[in-house]
Structure 1
Amino acid sequence: MAGCCDPRGYEATFTERSAHRAARRYRRRGLDPMAAKVVRRCVYHGIEGATVLEIGGGVGALHLELLRRGAATATNLELVGTYERDAAELAAETGLTGRVHRRVLDLATDPGGVEPADVVVLNRVVCCYPDLGGLLGAAAGRARQLLVLTYPRSNPFTRGLMAVENRFTALLGRSYRAFVRPPAEIFAVLRAHGLEPAVSENGAIWCLTAATHVSAAAPRAA
């Protein structure tokens, strides 16, 4: 993998063990609240027959739910292969194997390596990648209709949490780092690639933003 990201740092953080836990949690409880919000937002904007590109979808719970709700196909991109076994098992259990395509690809360094999709999703991903413009810009360039992303709120509390996490991973000798980005920076990247933030929802820690192409953008929420 070229560019700024060392895949060993991600392999040490997003391990096969963490993939097992995520798959087990989905089987028992379904989607976590933030992922469920993303699904509802995608359904609200229209998912029937759509192609989905999810970046950093892990074991695939979110895009499996979108397929169950009418999406045609889903492609998932990961930086490392640690999720693949559990993701394949979940897709098989839900009978959706033939509609899911998974690849190990750094979209920021190879934006042409995957076909555009009607809907692009980045759930808790932009906080995990050092080059916001590279990753989010490439994702926006792949979105035909809608892009939905979630990211940490930019405030002293979340910045403190990320600082503690980064100190801990540094002590463990890992290169992975987490990032908190101001919404203005995120929106600037989206707008530079022809998308307009149409809806934003702010939670205690996480925010959700849905962006559509300017020509089809809904009125911005107050």
Structure 2
Amino acid sequence: MDDCCSAGGDSRAPDRLADGRYDAVFDERFAQRIARQYSKRGLTPSEQHIVDYLADEVGIVGARVLEIGGGVGELQLALLERGAANTVNLELSSAYEATAGRLAAAAGVGDRVTRTVGLDLAERPNAVDEADIVVLHRVVCCYPDADRLLSAAADRARRALVFSHPPRNLVSRAGAVSVNLMMWLVGRSYRGFIHSPDAMVDVLARHGLQAGYRHRDRGWCIVGAQR
């Protein structure tokens, strides 16, 4: 979910309808724009840091990867290329699926990617099998209850979890206020959030994951934690 919270494979029938507040913001035009950027430039710097951390410090060869809110799946394609066995993507917006499918088919990994739309992990944590690695990139800022989301994600992670979040400063808070005001003015229910970084790391610790990796680039802070 680039720009704040902003794969072929079989797309499983959703357990419920995708959440309309996400569909309205992260729509097909948004998905196509992200795909074009990826096709032209490859991974963003923050995405590359996530892949390098997982490949170099955690180990991804043969791993099952669960990504929550993976959008068009560019991170998953990179992890599969580096040796992951398969990936599962959970998405609350249905608009990514066609574009994600084309990207995965073009990469020749459609049979190694599973995508599920409409399953909120925080609400139904046991509806998804555990994975070796869980990834949440540009996601927690789109979800109102970071504690519940990260708790559910941590319980699905057998070995490691990596997530990103905006820096918590005056600039990011002002940006969130501006975005939320705009959403309110146009009648959309989507809201962005700037959660406490320390509180999010504490959630992982309560679930047995120790944060040993931190990186900050221009727009995102990345936290990697292992059991």
**In the superposition, relative to structure 1, how do residues 20 and 205 fare at CA in structure 2: closer, same or farther (>3 Å)?**
closer
Q: Which residue of 1 is the match for residue 35 of structure 2?
A: 23
The aligned counterpart of 1:69 is 82
Regions of 4+ moved over 4 Å = none
Contact 1:128/1:178, CA 8 A, preserved across alignment:
yes
Gaps of 5+ in 1: 214-222
Match in the other structure for 2:25: 13
Mapped to 1, the partners of 2:52 and 2:181 lie a distance apart of 35
> What code does the residue aligned with 1:160 have?
A
Contact conserved, 1:149 with 1:209, CA < 8 A, in 2?
Answer: yes
Using the TM superposition, name which of 85-94 and 36-45 deviates more: 36-45
Deviation of 1:204 after TM superposition, in Å, equals 3.4
Determine the structure 1 residue equivalent to 2:131.
Answer: 117
CA shift, 1:62, in A, is 0.4
The match for 1:128 among 135, 142, 165 is 142
User: CA offset at residue 80 of structure 1?
Assistant: 2.2
- 1:86 maps to 99
Q: Is the 8 A contact 1:158 1:205 kept in 2?
A: no
Task: Tell me what 2:114 maps to.
Answer: 101
Contact 2:131 2:158 in 1 (8 A): yes
Aligned partners of 1:14, 1:33: CA distance in 2, in Å?
21
Structure 2: stretches of 5+ with no match in the other structure: 1-13
1:164 aligns with 2:198: no
Q: Provide the C-alpha distance between the structure 2 equivalents of 1:89 and 1:95, rounded to a whole number of angstroms.
A: 10
Give secondary structure in 2 for the equivalent of 1:70.
Answer: coil
Per-residue CA shift, 1:13-50, capped at 9, x if unaligned? 00011111111111111111111111111111211111
What is the percent sequence identity of the aligned residues?
48
Which amino acid counterpart does residue 35 of structure 1 have in structure 2? E
TM-aligned CA deviation for residue 178 of structure 1: 0.6
Aligned counterparts of 1:204 and 1:33: Cα–Cα separation in 2 = 9
Residue pairs, 1:29-48, within 5 angstroms: 29-44=41-56, 45-48=58-61
Give the drift of 1:203.
2.6
Q: Output the amino acid matched with 1:70.
A: G
1:192 aligns with 2:206: yes
Q: Is the 8 A contact 2:27 2:93 kept in 1?
A: no
